[in-house]
Amino acid sequence: MQKILSIRTASILKKLKGGLVASCQPVDGGTLDHPKIVTAMAQAVISGGAVAVRIEGVENLKAVRQVITAPIIGIIKSDSNSSPVRITVFLDDVKKLVQAGADVVAYDATDRFRHDSRDEILKAILDAGVIAMADCSTLADCEKARDDGANIIGTTLSGYTRETEKNSRNPDFELIRQAKKLGVFVMAEGRFNTPELASRAIRAGADAVTVGTALTRLEIITARFAKSIHCANKKSKLNGFAVDLGGTKTAVAKIESGKIFNVIERKTIGTASYGTHLKLIAEMLSKLGYRKGDQLGVAVTGRVDEEGRWYAVNQSTLGKFSSAPLQTDLIKNIGPSSVINDALAATLAEHQLGSGEGHQNFAFITISTGVGGGLILNGRLHTDASGLPGHVGFSSSLFGNKLCNSGRYGTVESVASGNAIASAAAAIGYPDADARAVFKEANAGVAWAVELVDRSASAIAELTADLVTILGITKIAFGGSIGLADGYLDRIQKHLHAMPNLFQAQLVTADFAAHGPLMGALLNTNREKTDENTHFT
């Protein structure tokens, strides 16, 4: 019997090797959730080149078994208030699947409570004489399943358990590589929703790849296309002019159909008067062809309250005034416009049109002259009448021990910003080294510079963990000259990955890079109409 099973197992694994497995699982209770339709799906994907199918439910499996000879991976899903485990939960499930004609039975191989233990389920599968596929979430799951005799190790549940849910936006290629080192047949499964990702899985070491939603869940795929088209429509209607007055530079752009058509930049003079800043904005807009009445959005460094009054929170950046009625003066002297903090504007752009799209709890952090940011909570840009929320750089840091320009001691900005890096370099004997020079030395491996840059990255990593802990942020995009500097994000990720998985979030560079505040400033001019789910709280 064992010899026959070994031959049969080897034959099926050979058929699966290097191939595509199509998971024919329609949306539960959806229009396509019927054995006849699932059977048609199975026939279609086999005709298209799939080497096997993954089928949920006894009736579906029986129907498919009658019309295809390709290997079938069978599962039964069960929902319970007492356990998060859904895949092949009961010993009786194994018996039903085998009788229905499954060649392979997949089970939840995670270390989570369920009615019948994973050890009992695996034993039942092997005793029934069929192949056991372990749906895993971590390397520990994979090692346990291999040691207990599972024939196939799947990465199916990475991103779908409490321990791994922060990784749910992307396939887990690292788990594929680690599992392959165990000397087992590895099935890549979980968010492989493009041909490119599927081929990358093979290159990472997977023996086969399972694709589900992208092939057989029409409701979900249709929604993705509809959302993308909606986003494109929003961008195509984004026309006008935008200003970004930052701590380092002032940029003015003409935007057509959601794209930067033309942009001019000038160095921001921190010691300039309020009137000088207004005059510069007017002159730059005039050069781009702005006429009074054109759509105009303005983003500025500092704090902007609900009345459009501008406050220079960081006196080292804007030292000639503490507050000014910017909204009123812009309308009076230039034309109808809206005003928003530059980091909040970038947050708005990233969430509506860029890296944060689809995330209910998203953060943007800009690290440049200072450290700023913005928060999307429950799908909405978070702020209040004061305009202070989002100034994450003014939060406390365990690395800080100096006075911040905000007036607080030991803030993130006092450690991680470009000004802080340059100040720290001067304190140890390099008075002429600005942040750019420090980064250049750090990337060359110079020890003192590496230490300063790494300290900045450590502070930002702690900040990201705090945002995850307090607000449930799932994705964070980074901008600013420091945030986008070569190798900086890798340093942040290294420090974050040293923390427990519970505090992890997906970290990326901002899609709009330096143009985020410009795009967001224009979006802000008509925010209620451009995104009904994004408004001041």
What is the pLDDT at residue 534?
36
pLDDT higher than 90, residue 322 = no
| Phi, psi (rounded to 5 degrees) for 366 | -110, 130
Task: Tell me whether domains 239-342 and 355-510 share a fold.
Answer: yes
Query: Does 3 have pLDDT greater than 70?
Result: no
**Predicted local confidence at residue 448, as pLDDT:** 97
Residues 108-145 pLDDT 10s:
999 999 999 999 999 999 999 999 999 999 999 999 99
* Higher per-residue pLDDT: 400 or 434: 434
Q: What is the pLDDT of residues 75-89, one digit of tens each?
A: 999 998 889 999 999
- Look over the chain and give the mean of its residue pLDDT values, rounded to a whole number: 91
pLDDT at 528: 42
If you average pLDDT over residues 255-274, what whole number do you get? 90
Q: Is the pLDDT of residue 342 over 70?
A: yes
Return the H-helix or E-strand segment holding 186.
strand 185-189
Which pLDDT belongs to residue 6? 78
pLDDT tens sequence across 284-309: 999 999 999 999 999 998 899 989 99
pLDDT value of residue 532: 38
Kindly state the percentage of the chain with pLDDT values over 90.
75
The pLDDT value recorded for residue 451 is 96
DSSP string, 330-395: HHHHT-S-EEEEHHHHHHHHHHHHSTTTT-SSEEEEEESSSEEEEEEETTEE---TTS-TT-GGGS
pLDDT-derived band at 167, boundaries 50, 70, 90: low
What is the pLDDT at residue 233? 76
Could you name the CATH architecture of 2-216?
Alpha-Beta Barrel (3.20)
pLDDT of residue 500: 87
What tokens does 435 get? Answer: 């942040």
Over residues 40-46, the mean pLDDT reads 97
pLDDT tens for 388-424 read 899 999 999 998 888 887 788 899 999 999 999 999 9
Split at pLDDT 50, 70, 90, the class of 501 is confident
- 355-510: which CATH architecture? 2-Layer Sandwich (3.30)
Q: How confident is the model at residue 533 (pLDDT cuts 50, 70, 90)?
A: very low
Task: Return the pLDDT at 318.
Answer: 67
Name which of 521, 517, 479 is nearest 308 in CA terms: 521
**3-class DSSP state of 277:** helix
Fold of 239-342: Nucleotidyltransferase; domain 5 (3.30.420)
Mean per-residue pLDDT, 186-214: 95
Instruction: Please check the confidence at residue 51 and state whether its pLDDT lies above 90.
Output: yes
Provide the pLDDT for residue 512: 93
The answer to whether 475 and 510 have CB atoms below 8 angstroms apart is no
Whether 2 shows a pLDDT value over 60: the answer reads no
Q: Which two tokens stand for residue 69?
A: 């000879």
What is the predicted pLDDT for the residue at 168?
Answer: 56
Dihedrals φ, ψ of 225, to 5°? -65, -45
- pLDDT above 90 for 246: no
- Choice among 96-110, 412-426, 519-533 with the minimum mean pLDDT: 519-533
Boundaries of every domain in the chain? 2-216, 239-342, 355-510
- Both tokens assigned to 360: 């209910």
pLDDT at 145: 97
Give me the pLDDT at residue 109, please: 98
CA distance 415 to 458: 10
pLDDT (0 to 100) of residue 400: 85
Please, are residues 105 and 130 in contact by the beta-carbon 8 Å criterion?
yes
